[in-house]
């Protein structure tokens, strides 16, 4: 029987690459986007072409009741969950004082509350069999903060602290919880920068380039397949940048 992995925010970018990586490694995969989209449909088709099961779930996972529905579907179709990858997230660039309460609430809900929601429902499944893996996608800005990304940085810092705390709770049940703090990854999220800005940014990175989504996916997979003794860690993945 296939192991089962849930990857939130997987319609594009890092999440899509992670979903494909797990599928290629013979995992059944649950993919998620906030709404129905051609990207989500095409990802499901690509995964099914690899001859592994794929459950597509379109819904806003910052809503706890939506996540309850998702987990009912997971239990109905698979009856198990082995890996939870919390990848869903949005960014916001601009001065904090220019933000509205609605904007920062949206960031908090999507970037952090969604992680609480999925973990709250996944943990009992993991504890009951004393196995399972949780990997949260974070950011280097959660480690050190970024000007004009104050709330975004705050949400990622919250993920980092939550990762370390939850890891301590779940270690007796042999369930590792880690986070991957990503630097600059070549995704659509960075298309807001001009070619000149992207070039200047790459010059700041000792590796001289952005990471690919496939590199992130490979790292995530290795962390989820490695020793359970590695837990409570926020692992920086930034090419030596920060």
Residues forming the active site = 152
Q: Who contacts 232 (Cβ-Cβ below 8 Å, separation ≥6)?
A: 163, 164, 167, 168, 171, 177, 178
Strands, DSSP E only, in the chain? Answer: 4-7, 28-33, 54-58, 83-86, 133-139, 177-182, 234-237
Q: Are 5 and 85 in contact (CB under 8 A)?
A: yes
User: Please, how many CA atoms are within 13 Å of residue 98, restricted to the half-sphere of its CB?
Assistant: 6
**Helix/strand/coil (H/E/C) assignment for every residue in 99-167:** CCHHHHHHHHHHHHHHHHHHHHHHHHHHHHHCCCEEEEEEECHHHHCCCCCHHHHHHHHHHHHHHHHHH
Q: What is the DSSP secondary structure assignment for residue 58, as one 8-state letter?
A: E
Residues 67 and 74: their CA atoms lie apart, in Å, by 10
Closest Cα partner for 111 from 157, 77, 78, 148?
A: 157
Taking the CA atoms of 97, 100, 105 and 107 in sequence, report the sign of the dihedral they define: negative
- 3-class SS of residue 91: coil
């Amino acid at each position: 029987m296939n192991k089962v992995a849930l990857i939130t925010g997987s319609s594009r970018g890092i999440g899509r690459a992670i979903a494909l990586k797990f599928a290629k490694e013979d995992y059944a995969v649950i993919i998620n986007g906030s709404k129905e989209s051609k990207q989500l449909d095409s990802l499901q088709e690509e995964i099914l072409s690899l001859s592994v099961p794929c459950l597509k779930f379109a819904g806003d996972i910052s809503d706890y009741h939506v996540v309850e529905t998702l987990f009912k579907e997971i239990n109905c179709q698979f009856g198990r969950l082995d890996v939870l990858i919390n990848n869903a997230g949005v960014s916001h660039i601009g001065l904090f004082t220019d933000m509205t309460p609605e904007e920062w609430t949206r960031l908090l809900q999507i970037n952090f509350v969604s992680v609480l929601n999925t973990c709250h429902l996944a943990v009992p499944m993991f504890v009951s069999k004393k196995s399972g893996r949780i990997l949260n996608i974070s950011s280097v800005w959660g480690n050190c903060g970024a000007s004009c990304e104050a709330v975004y940085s705050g949400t990622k810092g919250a993920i980092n602290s939550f990762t370390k705390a939850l890891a301590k709770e779940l270690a007796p049940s042999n369930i590792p919880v880690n986070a991957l703090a990503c630097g600059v990854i070549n995704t659509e999220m960075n298309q807001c920068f001009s070619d000149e800005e992207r070039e200047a940014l790459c010059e700041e990175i000792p590796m001289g380039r952005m990471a690919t989504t496939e590199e992130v996916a490979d790292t995530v997979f290795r962390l989820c397949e490695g020793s359970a003794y590695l837990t409570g860690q926020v692992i920086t993945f930034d090419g030596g940048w920060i």
